[in-house]
Amino acid sequence: MKKSEEIKARITAQGGSYFANDNISAYVSDGELAELSVEVEGNVKALLQSLVIDVDNDHNTQDTARRVAKMFLREVFEGRYVPCPKVTDFPNAKKVDEIYVVGPITVRSACSHHLAPIMGKAWVGVIPGERVIGLSKFNRVATGSCRDHKSKKRQSSSLPTNSKSGCSLWRLVWWSKPRTSADAGAASKTKAK
């Protein structure tokens, strides 16, 4: 049985799903990613051959299947196979009650419809509650939530709400040019669901 089939069977047996934006790290055992990489490499090689590309004699493509498999599993879709980043919160001792924004944060992903790269800058704003998260965590949360494949529309609302810490993480805002924190506040009027 193929490694991907074993993983899918495990996910299904435990009532999980393996949709494009699902993090499946809880279902992938140590060492299985290497085995999955070998399977993906074979499929990429078959794809290149179906495109009538000589992967045996052309020095440009002899190792392409291995590189592409590694890129998909360890970079582009990494967020699918590694646990979500941990976020530590602490008391809001200064009773901060207005939005604070961090950005630009460089984020990248891939479109789930065409596997085309999505790259951009994100600004993340938080309105603190009784507890807050540190500014250094914004980058980890933004990049971690983007390292899988989804549509750009879905990407812009993919940041989780951290209700445990009492913070409201607002939607991820994509801009092609840097903006002010006032612009981020205005653009983030609607909470992500």
58 pLDDT above the threshold of 80 = yes
Provide the CATH topology of domain 3-81: GTP Cyclohydrolase I; Chain A, domain 1 (1.10.286)
Q: H-helix or E-strand containing 182?
A: helix 181-187
* Mean pLDDT value of segment 111-140: 82
CATH number for 89-187 (one of 3.30.1130.10, 3.40.50.1000, 3.10.130.10, 3.30.160.100): it is 3.30.1130.10
Averaged pLDDT, 67-86: 89
Give the pLDDT band (50/70/90) at residue 31. very high
| Contact residues for 98 (Cβ-Cβ < 8 A; gap 6+) | 127
pTM attached to this predicted model: 0.72
